[in-house]
Chains A and B, each alone.
Chain A
């Protein structure tokens, strides 16, 4: 039986007006895992760390170092957003590689509906992340520059700079598209590849693809976080003519 992965996430049930798709369900699972881990790691924060605190410190310190090497004195404002993007995306990506994802489900008439689906293989998730990223970037830009300097980035009396500013403004919209589709495309393609290869021969053969997906899952999380960081740094810098 050929499994076809739908581009859109499948709806499982509804809570009031909210249709709960399998990606929404998985998103909640990821949220629980992240918050559960955070709670476990910071239950007793001690100078001599417990193993789980040690791991959390390693993760936070590595990212913090990376962010502060780019953002400098704005690290405190940028870091929580960047780190949340990274942790949310990487946990979602890796969770989607677990057995049971895309395979456990039920049949709805002729259609197979998996119960869980990798969160970033749904454009809703990645688009939401990209929107948060870009809106947060602009919010921070206004906060650091003030509204006047922020607007000067886009609007100028000099026609050449006005034209450049308008192009850059259009670039802000393509940011949303590129951020969301890059993440969605990579993860969705990975899912499709894994499903296809598993259907060809389910033993041993998919293993290299799983390793590949482990790398992709990490790299895409890092790319999303780093691009957001770079956009933030660039946009919060004063425009100099």
Chain B
């Protein structure tokens, strides 16, 4: 093996290099490639997961927004209903109050009228009696005598009707 000698090939050197390379291979495989490749995979998974999660979060956000919009809508509708009800009620109450007030006023008015008319009647009666006395006294004085009961009465009635006409 002249060529091998010229190139300095020696079995023991060859073996030393093979062993050396196998040591490198073993150590790098176990302590270098494995953790690094695992880390690369982990990071890749994590990024994928994060992206997936972000899509999910966006979806959830949209759903929440929709929900909150629906809730707001419902609340507005309820509020509107309430306001409508309240308005109706207020109108009803106002109308009832107005009606009651009117009725009360009318009643008061009626009472007042009645009182007035009764007062008037009373006054008339008083006046009548008074007038009667006055006429009787006058007549007595003028005629110097007392009238008979029947005369007195017809006289009174005559003058009374006249007075009443005049009033």
Residues of chain A having any CB pair with chain B under 8 Å: 6-9, 17-19, 21, 24, 27-28, 31, 34-35, 38-39, 41-42, 45-47, 49, 53, 56-57, 60-61, 64, 79-81, 83-84, 87-88, 122-125, 127-129, 131-132
Say yes or no: A19 contacts B21, CB within 8 Å. no
Closest chain B CB from A65 CB (angstroms): 10
Given A57-B39, A64-B37, answer yes or no on A28-B28 (Cβ-Cβ < 8 Å).
no
Interface residue total, chain B, C-beta cutoff 8 A: 34
**How far does the alpha carbon of A228 sit from the alpha carbon of B18 in the complex, in Å?**
16
B27 CB–A CB distance under 8 Å: yes
Say yes or no: B31 contacts A42, CB within 8 Å. yes
Given A41-B36, A57-B39, A60-B33, answer yes or no on A131-B12 (Cβ-Cβ < 8 Å).
no
Say yes or no: B28 contacts A83, CB within 8 Å. yes
Closest 9 CB pairs of A and B: A8-B8, A128-B17, A38-B32, A80-B29, A123-B7, A124-B13, A84-B25, A60-B36, A128-B18
List B contacts of A18 (CB < 8 A): 12-13, 16
B63 CB–A CB distance under 8 Å: no
Per DSSP, are chain B's interface residues mostly helix, strand or loop, or mixed?
Answer: helix
Given A27-B20, A124-B9, answer yes or no on A87-B28 (Cβ-Cβ < 8 Å).
yes
Say yes or no: A61 contacts B12, CB within 8 Å. no
Say yes or no: B40 contacts A122, CB within 8 Å. no
Partner of A47, one of B13, B36, B42: B42
When C-beta atoms are compared, the residue in chain B nearest to A63 turns out to be B33
When C-beta atoms are compared, the residue in chain A nearest to B43 turns out to be A47
Taking CB atoms and an 8 Å cut-off, the chain B residues in 9-61 that contact chain A are: 9-10, 12-18, 20-25, 27-29, 31-33, 35-40, 42-43, 46
Closest chain A CB from B29 CB (angstroms): 4
Say yes or no: A57 contacts B40, CB within 8 Å. yes
Partner of A42, one of B8, B14, B36: B36
When C-beta atoms are compared, the residue in chain A nearest to B7 turns out to be A123
Q: A47-B39, A47-B46 are in contact. List 13 more A-B contacts (CB 8 A).
A: A9-B8, A17-B12, A28-B20, A31-B24, A35-B27, A42-B31, A45-B35, A45-B38, A60-B32, A60-B33, A84-B24, A125-B17, A128-B15
List A contacts of B25 (CB < 8 A): 80-81, 84, 132
B6 CB–A CB distance under 8 Å: yes
Closest chain B CB from A131 CB (angstroms): 6
Say yes or no: A7 contacts B12, CB within 8 Å. no
**How far does the alpha carbon of A64 sit from the alpha carbon of B12 in the complex, in Å?**
33
Given A35-B24, A87-B28, answer yes or no on A123-B8 (Cβ-Cβ < 8 Å).
yes
Chain B CB within 10 A, most for which of A8, A28, A41, A47? A8
